[in-house]
Amino acid sequence: MRITVVGAGSWGTALAEVASRCHHEVLLWAHDPKVAEAIARTRSNPIYLPACQLDAHVRVTSSLEDAARFSETLLMATPSHHYREVLSTLLDFISGDVRVVSATKGIENESLKRMSEISAEILGERLVGFAVLSGPTFAVEVSRGDPTAAVVASSVIAFAEEMQVALSSRTFRLYRSDDVAGVEFAGSLKNIIAIAAGVLDGIGLGSNTMAALVTRGLFEIRRLGVALGGKPETFMGLAGMGDLILTATGGLSRNRSVGIALGQGRSIDSILGSTRLVAEGVRTCRSAKDLAERHRIEMPITIEIHRLIYESESPRDAINRLMQRALKAE
């Protein structure tokens, strides 16, 4: 199989290596020509994933025309706020049917749409298969071959099965699902709770507080996800609980790192300005708040993280508000 991986950040680079280990021909698209040149020259991604030595099956380009024409199967690994623009540009060079596997975790701020909805909107009848790939997957650990499990979901279960087989190996195991909405919401919303977990670490709170946050955070994201079409069991699996545990507690978590810095008193502009890496939870927090308000769904942790990021609220004040909410049954 030929696979085009769109996005040469750490996750896209790791997925290119996953696909090459399964003996597929892979073309990795990088937005920055300098990144593409460096990968072609050194066989590694010196900016985003320097420890990963890419297999010879992986080629690299900075041309979206080349990326579109290489394969009918696009594995999208761009940041969510660039997804629409990149896919729209790809469409200019797509001549036939196309299949999309989204590895992007986020909800578009302006439209409040998931990547599956954006893909359908842009590609229309040319989109003959869509799947989302998500789960507890730090890119550096995937690339070095640590045993990893994730989920691939499609409303057309035959496509989910095909991609499950195509991308599974000794070190990367995929489970299949038909719950696209649930997997997308779980993968996106958990990043907000991971920021909150980082805030707790940043202000020096302990395990009691962290356990309460993760438990109530999972309940909160499941409430929104199920209300908007996801299945409850998805949020208890790899895409939900599994990814939340990893992102809220793992030292490699970008979203947790943002939260730690917020808890230590740094401004969000300072935090984001000091790194090229994307913490999806920062933008997703805006979308989740808007969705919750639109559908009248209570999401108190999300609201407080939104206040911390966009209204310069104090972490201690946010915690006090959460602890002093009206008492209720669990």
Q: Which residues are catalytic, by number?
A: 190
Angle, vertex CA 291, rays to CA 84 and CA 225, nearest 5: 90
Q: Compute, in degrees rounded to 10, the torsion defined by CA atoms 48, 277, 281, 186.
A: -10
Instruction: Tell me 49's DSSP state.
Output: B
Other CB atoms within 10 A of residue 77 CB: 27
Distance in angstroms between the alpha carbons of the first and the last residue of the chain: 49
Alpha helices in the chain (DSSP H): 10-21, 33-42, 64-70, 80-91, 115-123, 139-143, 157-167, 180-202, 207-227, 243-249, 254-263, 268-273, 280-295, 300-310, 315-323
**Distances in whole angstroms, Cα of residue 260 to Cα of each of 9, 208, 238, 255, 293:** 23, 17, 24, 9, 27
